[in-house]
């Protein structure tokens, strides 16, 4: 059960309304196929763009370390994440932390992600894993292994 919950939370390419998400994905492969780019990288710089509740966002420069999907992706990219937690956003990405990112490319050449798509702070995940029981940890590792296997077979 935990595996299913974590999978839905971590991998759903979803439509956000407020901060409720409705998944159209049926499998990990569906999730992979519904994103323009899947990559891992380190946050180099984060800035908050000015604007109101609807238009403000974090723009974070990411040094790309590994690409699973996104042929022709440069060695560094900018990602755009929501700020307000009520709209599936959150706090600014921590500079120096490593992230796993499932994103959609925008017309302004940013990679859009947020609470309803995977923008996983792997440094935080590592800390959180310490609080899991051995059974929960085994389920998490199994789910993560399945996800990475599917990503490895994705087309770049």
Digit-coded pLDDT (tens) for 140-152: 788 777 777 777 7
**Per the domain annotation, does 75 fall within a domain?**
yes
Q: Could you tell me the residue range of the domain that residue 53 belongs to?
A: 2-135
pTM (2 d.p.): 0.72
For the cut 90, the answer to whether the pLDDT of residue 18 exceeds it is: no
**Per the domain annotation, does 154 fall within a domain?**
no
Residues 76-114: tens digit of each pLDDT: 998 888 776 545 555 678 899 998 888 888 888 788 886
**Per the domain annotation, does 145 fall within a domain?**
no
**Per the domain annotation, does 141 fall within a domain?**
no
Calculate the average pLDDT of the chain: 75
Structure tokens given for 119: 């923008």
Structure tokens given for 50: 């000015």
Among 7-11, 58-62, 84-88, which stretch is predicted with the lowest mean pLDDT? 7-11
Beta strands in 54-140 (DSSP E): 57-69, 76-82, 98-105, 111-112, 119-121
Residues of the chain with pLDDT > 70, as a percent, come to 73
**Per the domain annotation, does 83 fall within a domain?**
yes
CA dist., res. 156 & res. 151, Å (int): 10
**Per the domain annotation, does 107 fall within a domain?**
yes
**Per the domain annotation, does 153 fall within a domain?**
no
Question: Residue 40 maps to which CATH number?
Answer: 2.40.50.120
- Phi, psi (rounded to 5 degrees) for 106: -95, 170
Question: What DSSP string runs through 27-61?
Answer: SHHHHHHT-SEEEEEEEEEEEEPP--TTT-EEEEE
For the cut 50, the answer to whether the pLDDT of residue 53 exceeds it is: yes
**Per the domain annotation, does 38 fall within a domain?**
yes
| Selected residue with higher pLDDT from 24 and 46 | 46
How many domains is the chain built from?
1
C-alpha pair distances (Å), 72 with each of 8, 19, 37, 51, 67: 29, 32, 10, 31, 10
Position 63 scores a pLDDT of 96
């Amino acid at each position: 059960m935990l595996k299913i919950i974590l999978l839905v939370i971590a991998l759903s390419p979803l439509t956000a309304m407020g901060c409720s998400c409705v998944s159209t994905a049926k499998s990990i492969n569906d999730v992979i196929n519904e994103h323009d780019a899947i990559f891992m990288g380190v946050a180099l710089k984060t800035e908050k763009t000015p604007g109101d509740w609807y238009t403000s966002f974090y723009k974070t420069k990411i040094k790309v370390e590994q690409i699973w999907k996104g042929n022709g992706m440069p060695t560094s990219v900018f990602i755009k994440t929501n700020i307000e937690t009520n709209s599936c956003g959150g706090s600014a990405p921590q500079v120096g932390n490593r992230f796993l990112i499932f994103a959609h490319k925008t017309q302004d050449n940013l990679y859009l992600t947020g609470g309803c798509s995977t923008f996983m702070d792997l440094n935080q995940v590592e800390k959180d894993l310490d609080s899991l029981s051995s059974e929960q940890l085994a389920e998490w590792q199994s789910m993560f292994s399945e996800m990475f296997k599917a990503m490895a077979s994705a087309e770049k």
